[in-house]
């Protein structure tokens, strides 16, 4: 870490030190994990038994050695009518808030980049509105920057919270459903008689699933490289994950060169359709057009199935183009990935651009002051540079607007039309939007 960056961290820590309020922020570890599960579980109204949550989450945190936990710890308040020895107790007091992150690698325009997957965010209900979350989030941003991760991402349980901290929706994802009598594919949908289709228990197909997923995740913007612990979680097949449905099944489509696509799904044989079942697709992806067709044809021709539901699909999901009548596909906007630029110049410089752009950005950032200021972005298809400048800005915007546009799934023009950014040089937003654009919609299939 440079001396200047260390000075920034010291100054920021001094400004945010909350000790006078009776609590402090510190790094956590394995021994703090049970208390963290209690706090976050209560904050998110989790229905899981805490023991089940610990069992499910521990392997994921262990991959980072529990080294990214941050805690807000309150000293014991003896004599104030509070219970002692509760589940939040740790050596130096009682946990009242926590944040965590996973060390991911994500496909972004320009290649695979490290990204902090923010997770486990929660504040004890009786300690809300006291600055706990703000202190934790600011400390985490500084820690992420120190690790050399220029981006942070999260799934928001309550979106209004994270916009305050510089995050923004970076893509659009959907839940979709179709009744099988309407699920007819176009006659000219690509088909390959050389492909084979096999249905197995999901755990027995792991090697094929990993191979396909790694291929797709290396090129599809927004996808995360999936670690062994996250594969364990994706294939977890226990009563608490089934929710009354069947065991997890995998249908794998293969060619002479190996697997080319898969779908993970469960079935539920009861409900409004009497004896007929619904089929719930948890994941589906493929590396070739014919493999997509083969997967859909398997799903739509299962006997006794009345409806097929897809848990999460991209804005440009192939099914809407392959159906003879795409209006029969019911779609509902679902949770989408939120993104934040932790280091603005570094994130913009490591990205690829679809067209030349030369623009001065005046960035506001309340919680990561190292980003605040003017940045001269010069980029074309051969590369990019982003440096501090004193030149007059072409546009002024909050850091969250850059997060929304960074994966190429959203345009800045909407923020301009609604007055949520300021264009000083006419046409600057349109030029930047063109440069940031991507031909495919970003998509993330990994919850965390």
| Among candidate residues 47, 133, 35, the one with its CA nearest the CA of residue 90 | 35
| Alpha-helix residue ranges (DSSP H) falling in 339-397 | 344-349
Active site residue 448: yes
Report which of 293, 263, 267 is spatially closest to residue 278, judged by C-alpha positions.
Answer: 267
Nearest to 374 by CA among 357, 386, 356, 358: 386
Task: For residue 216, count other CB atoms closer than 10 A to its CB.
Answer: 16
In whole angstroms, give the CA distance from residue 245 to residue 282.
12
For the chain, give the secondary structure using H, E and C.
CCHHHHHHHHHHHHHHCCHHHCEEEEECCHHHHHHHHHHHHHHCCCCCCHHHHHHHHHHHHHCCCCCCCEEEEECCCCCCCCCCCCCCEECCEEEEEEEEEEEEEEEECCEEEEEEEEEEEEECHHHCCCCHHHHHHHHHHHHHHHCCCCEEEEECCCHHHHHCCCCEECCCEEEEEEEHHHCCECCCCCCCCCCEEEEEEHHHHHHHHHHHHHHHHCCCCCCECCCHHHHHHHCCCCHHHHCCCCCCEEEEEEECCEEEEEEEEEEECCCCCCCCEEEEEEEEEECCHHHHHHHHHHHHCCCCEEEEEEEEEECCCCHHHHECCHHHCEEEECCCEEEEECCHHHHHHCCCCCCCEEEEEEEECCCCHHHCEEEEEEEECCEEEEEECCCCCCEEEEHHHHHHHCCCCCCCHHHHHCCCCEECCCCHHHHHHHHHCCCCCCCCCCCC
User: Among the options 162, 262, 265, 353, which is catalytic?
Assistant: 162
Instruction: Examine the residue annotation and report whether 66 is marked as an active-site residue of this protein.
Output: no
Catalytic residue among 296, 310, 443, 448: 448
One DSSP character per residue, 169-217 reads: E---EEEEEEEGGG-PBPTTS---TT-EEEEEEGGGGHHHHHHHHHHHH
Residues marked active site are found at 162, 448
């Amino acid at each position: 870490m440079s001396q200047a960056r260390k000075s920034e961290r010291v100054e920021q820590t001094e400004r945010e030190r909350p000790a006078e309020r009776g609590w402090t922020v510190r790094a956590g570890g394995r021994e703090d994990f049970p208390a963290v599960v209690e706090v976050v579980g209560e904050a998110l109204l989790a229905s899981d038994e805490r023991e089940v949550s610990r069992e499910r989450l521990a392997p994921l945190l262990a991959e980072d050695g529990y080294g990214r936990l941050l805690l807000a710890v309150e000293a014991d308040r003896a004599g104030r009518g509070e219970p002692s020895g509760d589940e939040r107790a740790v050596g130096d007091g009682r946990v009242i808030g926590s944040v965590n992150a996973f060390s991911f690698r994500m496909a972004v325009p320009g290649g695979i980049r490290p990204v902090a997957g923010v997770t486990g965010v929660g504040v004890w209900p009786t300690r809300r509105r006291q600055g706990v979350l703000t202190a934790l989030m600011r400390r985490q941003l500084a820690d992420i920057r120190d690790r050399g991760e220029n981006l942070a991402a999260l799934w928001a349980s309550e979106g209004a919270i994270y916009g305050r901290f510089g995050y923004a929706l970076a893509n659009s994802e959907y839940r979709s459903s179709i009744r099988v009598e309407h699920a007819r594919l176009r006659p000219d949908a690509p088909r390959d008689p050389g492909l084979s289709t096999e249905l197995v228990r999901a755990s027995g197909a792991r090697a094929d699933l990993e191979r396909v997923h790694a291929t797709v995740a290396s090129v599809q913007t927004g996808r995360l490289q999936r670690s062994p612990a996250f594969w364990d979680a994706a294939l977890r097949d226990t009563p608490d994950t089934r929710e009354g449905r069947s065991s997890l099944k995998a249908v794998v489509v293969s060619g002479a060169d190996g697997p080319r696509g898969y779908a993970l799904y469960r079935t539920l044989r009861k409900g409004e359709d009497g004896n007929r079942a619904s089929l719930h697709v948890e994941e589906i992806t493929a590396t070739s057009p014919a493999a997509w067709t083969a997967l859909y044809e398997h799903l739509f021709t299962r006997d006794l199935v009345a409806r097929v539901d897809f848990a999460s699909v991209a804005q440009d999901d192939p099914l809407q183009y392959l159906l003879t009548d795409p209006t029969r596909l019911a779609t509902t906007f679902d949770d989408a990935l939120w993104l934040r630029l932790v280091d603005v110049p570094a994130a913009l410089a490591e990205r690829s651009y679809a067209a030349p752009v030369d623009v001065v950005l005046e960035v506001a950032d309340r919680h990561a002051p190292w980003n605040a200021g003017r940045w001269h972005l010069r980029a074309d298809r051969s590369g990019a540079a982003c440096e501090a400048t004193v030149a007059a800005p072409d546009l002024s915007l909050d850091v969250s607007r850059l997060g929304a546009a960074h994966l190429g799934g959203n345009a800045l023009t909407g923020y301009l039309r609604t007055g949520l950014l300021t264009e000083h040089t006419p046409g600057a937003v349109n030029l930047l939007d063109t440069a940031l654009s991507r031909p495919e919609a970003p998509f993330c299939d990994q919850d965390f």
